[in-house]
Chains A and B, each alone.
Chain A
Amino acid sequence: MSVRRKGRFVGRFILALAAFSAVFPFLWTALNAFKNRVDIVTPTPLFFFTPTLDNFAYVLGRGSVFQGLTNSLVISGSAVAIGAILGLPAAYALARYPGKWAKDIQFFVLSLRFLPPVAVAIPLMVIWLELGLYDTRLSMIVTYTLLTLATVIWLSVPAFQRVPREVEEAARVDGYGPYAIFFRIALPIASRSLIGAIAFSFVLVWNEFLIALMLTTSDAKTLPIVASELTQLGRDVPWGILNASVVLLSIPPLLLIGILSGMLNSAFRRKN
């Protein structure tokens, strides 16, 4: 009995420690974003201080950050929209018309993820340079569509497979054609999981770094690149501003966490 109790105590202690380690580092960064430089550069960490909004005001007032933010929103948003418009129908076709090619196609889509990003970025850099499209939003949208389209397809196939076949059969009996069944039956029923798939592909390109680093130099720089440039500043580092820009970069993905954990839940629901 007492062994069991001791085990439970230790187990819960480890869980508490893990939970603390999961959230504390980012919370600490968020806290530092509201500090003046003198309160960050202290020999002992400060938990109580006079908060300031100067860091955020500076970050949001900087042209480069604002440009990075709009670039990120336009590029990620467009790539995700194209990925969803083309990817959802493709995923439905793979889920509902499993011909002999379906497995190979699915493997092809998955295998795109095996490509090392640097192996895609180097040749694309040369291609965009030669086409005169280097460092433009258009080239970034096209490049990121490779990521969003593959991800949307890959994650949506199981979502469509979970739509009960009987519902689609009933609609067919009622005289719906194959396209009407997709738009008016399958799409609405699977919508919750599909939104999760789309949100995931957004987070993926919003967070993407290596390709953006190699394919942009000034005009089309995305927010992760701008933020990383701030983190490489020289000796007299403006720590507060750095923390604020990291927080700003992290807000959009964190806003989607509810949708993403909902997608996880429906993917692993007990099968019976």
Chain B
Amino acid sequence: MKHKSTLPAVFLSPALLILAVLALVPTVFAVFISFQDRELSRPDGRFVGLDNYLALFSDRRFVNAIGVSLTWEVLTVGLTLLVALLIGILMFEYAGPRWRSALSLMFLTPVILPRVSAAFVWKFAFHPLYGIITWPYKAITGQPLDLLSDPATALGTVALVDIWQWGLFFAVIVLKLLETLPPQPFEAARLDHARTWQVYAYVAIPMLKAPLISLAFVKMVESLRAFDLIYVMTRGGPGITTETLDMYAFSQGFIESGRISYASGMAVLMMIATSIVFTVIWKRTRA
């Protein structure tokens, strides 16, 4: 009876049509202009075949950006999950119901802030002269501490803001996941005189393996959106030490030379890489 209803077709087709058009047109167009030599100042491009792609592979800044992006992914995904597990477990272990909901609310605020706000808040906190975080260092040593201008620490400092936003948010989710677990295995482990950390390492975390993998996946996808933080905090600098792929594509297509086709080629390569990697991971973990 119900599969004869017109409802699925009526309800699904407008939304899917719009999504398909809005997603496919830019994607196809990105591929199309990546075979041209368009620039912002000169919109009528000629077809140059694979020239943009060939140029990319001998572009050392592009290779550098791949490295920065990969470092960023590993750093933010790994540390976010570590922070989330630590804080989530501590909340589950040491906080009563009221404290849990109060803490959860506080831990949600960083991720809700616009990335531009979060980036500015921390950029000012790390300001070598007036920053509240660098102040103790300056007070003790008399030297200003400029983490964002030091090639060795700039990327890590920006990553800290990302982990601050996502790690605390995921800690709340880890807490909720722990709360859904049945209490019996915990009690059994305690009766066997397991230490607290053993209960989590050998009982709780293995039971939550599937949702934790999903969390890691979500973070991998969201870590691609590093641009806002980097744009406000370092603009890819010092030098090109924090220039991720999207930052480089932006500066090629927009700021420096307006080489829109070249930037588009980069975007297409990113699109292919992320689509393949994420689809494989998604299908693997769901199978």
Contact = CB atoms under 8 A, between A and B. Distances in A.
A220 to B, nearest CB: 16
Nearest to A200: B112
A207 B168 contact: no
B94 A8 contact: yes
A29 B172 CA distance: 24
Interface residues of A, number: 92
Contacts, number: 267
Given A206-B114, A265-B176, A97 B3 contact: yes
B135 to A, nearest CB: 6
A257 B109 contact: yes
B128 interface: no
B12 A90 contact: yes
B210 interface: no
B103 A124 contact: no
Contact of B90 (A14, A25, A112, A118): A14
A242 interface: yes
Contacts of B15: 86-87, 89-90, 149, 153
Given A29-B121, A265-B176, A115 B263 contact: no
B97 interface: no
A268 B101 CA distance: 14
A114 interface: yes
A257 B87 CA distance: 20
Interface in A1-55: 7-8, 11-12, 14-15, 18-19, 21-23, 25-26, 28-29, 32, 40-45
Given A122-B260, A224-B116, A228-B231, A18 B135 contact: no
B223 to A, nearest CB: 11
A7 B93 CA distance: 10
A126 B106 contact: no
Contact of A249 (B23, B90, B116): B116
Contacts of B177: 268
Contacts of B176: 264-265, 268
Contacts of B26: 119-120, 123-124, 127
B243 interface: no
Contacts of A15: 87, 90-91, 94-95, 103
A149 B12 CA distance: 12
Nearest to B246: A118
Interface stretch (B50-58, B70-78, B148-156, B268-276): B268-276
B143 interface: no
A56 to B, nearest CB: 15
Contacts of A42: 130
B132 A268 contact: no
Nearest to A210: B227
B254 A253 contact: no
B120 A145 contact: no
Contacts of A246: 116-117, 120-121
Contacts of B285: none
B5 A178 contact: yes
Nearest to B135: A45
A146 B168 CA distance: 28
Interface in A113-134: 113-120, 122-127, 129-130
Contact of A239 (B130, B228, B270): B130
A271 B11 CA distance: 29
B47 interface: no
B242 interface: no
A99 interface: yes
A127 B115 CA distance: 27
Given A112-B23, A118-B227, A86 B18 contact: yes
Given A93-B8, A246-B116, 19 more contacts: A7-B196, A18-B168, A22-B109, A22-B110, A89-B10, A97-B3, A114-B274, A118-B227, A123-B32, A123-B267, A149-B18, A150-B19, A209-B114, A214-B254, A224-B115, A231-B120, A253-B113, A257-B105, A261-B108
5 contacts: A93-B12, A207-B116, A209-B116, A210-B228, A260-B112
